[in-house]
Amino acid sequence: MHGSSPAPLRSRKAQALKGLIRVPGDKSISHRSLMLGAIAVGETRAQGLLEGEDVVNTAKAMQALGAKVSRDKDGIWRIQGVGVSGLTSPKGDLDFGNSGTGVRLALGLMAATPLTARCIGDASLSKRPMGRVTVPLSQIGARFETEEGGRLPLTLHGARDAVPITYRLPVASAQVKSAVLLAGLNTPGRTTVIEPQATRNHTERMLKAFGAEIAVEQKDDGRHIHVMGQRELKAQAIDVPGDPSSAAFPLVAALITEGSDITIANVMLNETRTGLITTLIEMGGDIEIENRRLAGGEEVGDLHVRASRLKGISVPKARAPSMIDEYPALAVAASFADGITHMEGLDELRVKESDRLAAVEAGLQANGVTTRSGPDWLAVEGGSPNGGGTVPTHLDHRIAMAFLVMGLAARDAVSVDDSAMIATSFPNFIALMNGMGCRIEPVA
């Protein structure tokens, strides 16, 4: 996406959406499959991997660090790992594009190995805080040279003699938790992360599947996650389930577009990721979870969604980590609901691919929706949005997708100033949505 020219799009009022669709593989699991595969012994195979730009950048980074990564014609990704201490200095810069998960987890993966790597990213990623990972990784013994404010471009010098730490997360972030746990894999002894508020648990689950010595204890002050370092991991076969954060867009689209009846197959239902589904059901959304089953160690199911009259609710703060990427989609759903939807605990939205709280609020207001907000909360007054606005996306894929969904049911068309970055997480978004009956098209 680097340097590509903006691709503005518009979406217009649609008839009932129909169809059976599958969304791409989960982004969190895709990044972790490549990274754990890169340091495991043997060949890891991943099917259903998200082939979006964020994940492709992680694949290239793992290759540059010494792993062999290839893709078969049938879409299976193969990763030949180098062992838990086998990563080596890359020749050129590691370019993580738009991806905070890519760079922050990779910093953890490299931090306890004596290598040097310079990490870069796009304009959005270069504004995002890296101190949240460089602070604990420095305690382990890594050194960093960063731009002002601890931002990218950043050079990491991995620790020669890493020391195990116990780290209590100051923010509810699965990326920070994961960075410390991954560094713990090549650190002698026991590394512990304490998380006061549970965040997505894919790193813990996948480490267990790869044979790591990992233990989780639930205590009064939160979850204590311990990993014993310098133990080899065993390559795995991974079946990547559909991404609930991508499913959020067709899900909301079907709820707000009159007469719709769609099924989104094979969506991951890990309970650290299902906050949006819970919330939309509380708002009156007709969402049935069918065919619940286990696939690749995760619970998955098919979401049968029908257009619904939604009502505004108060979304509890404690639910935020389980739907942190879904607030743009929820805010759009809320703009069609009866009454006010109040969302709290949104401080982390300020440091996503954009300041998502500000971007969502600006987008809603541009389309005639009344909102109120504070540093970490947003209230959306629902009704029948006028639409007709053009939304600045700030290189944020989820802002672009959320407002293209809004246009399907607003009175007038909704435009977004760019859509190129949608390819970071959901490359076939437009084709898949239009295949169900959406009317998303380039702005002439």
Nearest Cα neighbor of 438 from 14, 9, 74 is: 14
Residue 102 or 407: which CB sits closer to ligand S3P? Answer: 102
Minimum distance, C-beta of residue 286 to ligand S3P, in the bound complex (Å) = 27
- Supply 439's token pair: 């009317």
Alpha helices, DSSP H, located in 172-300: 174-184, 202-209, 244-256, 275-282
Residue 173 or 236: which CB sits closer to ligand S3P? Answer: 173
- Supply 304's token pair: 């049968």
H/E stretch holding 208: helix 202-209
- Supply 110's token pair: 């490299």
Minimum distance, C-beta of residue 325 to ligand S3P, in the bound complex (Å) = 5
Residue 33 or 173: which CB sits closer to ligand S3P? Answer: 173
By the criterion CB under 6 A, which residues form the site for ligand S3P?
A: 28, 101, 173-175, 178, 200, 324-325, 348
Residue 28 or 192: which CB sits closer to ligand S3P? Answer: 28
Residue nearest to ligand S3P as judged by C-beta position: 28
Separation between Cα atoms, residue 141 and residue 243, nearest integer Å: 35
Separation between Cα atoms, residue 14 and residue 413, nearest integer Å: 10
Separation between Cα atoms, residue 223 and residue 218, nearest integer Å: 5
Provide the β-strand partners of residue 372.
Answer: 379
Minimum distance, C-beta of residue 209 to ligand S3P, in the bound complex (Å) = 16
- Supply 106's token pair: 């990779």
Residue 124 or 178: which CB sits closer to ligand S3P? Answer: 178
Minimum distance, C-beta of residue 76 to ligand S3P, in the bound complex (Å) = 22
Minimum distance, C-beta of residue 91 to ligand S3P, in the bound complex (Å) = 27
Separation between Cα atoms, residue 173 and residue 229, nearest integer Å: 22
The two counts, helices (H) then strands (E), for the chain are 12, 26
For residue 325, indicate whether it is catalytic.
yes
Exactly one of 54, 122, 325, 418 is catalytic; which is it?
325
The residues that are catalytic are 325
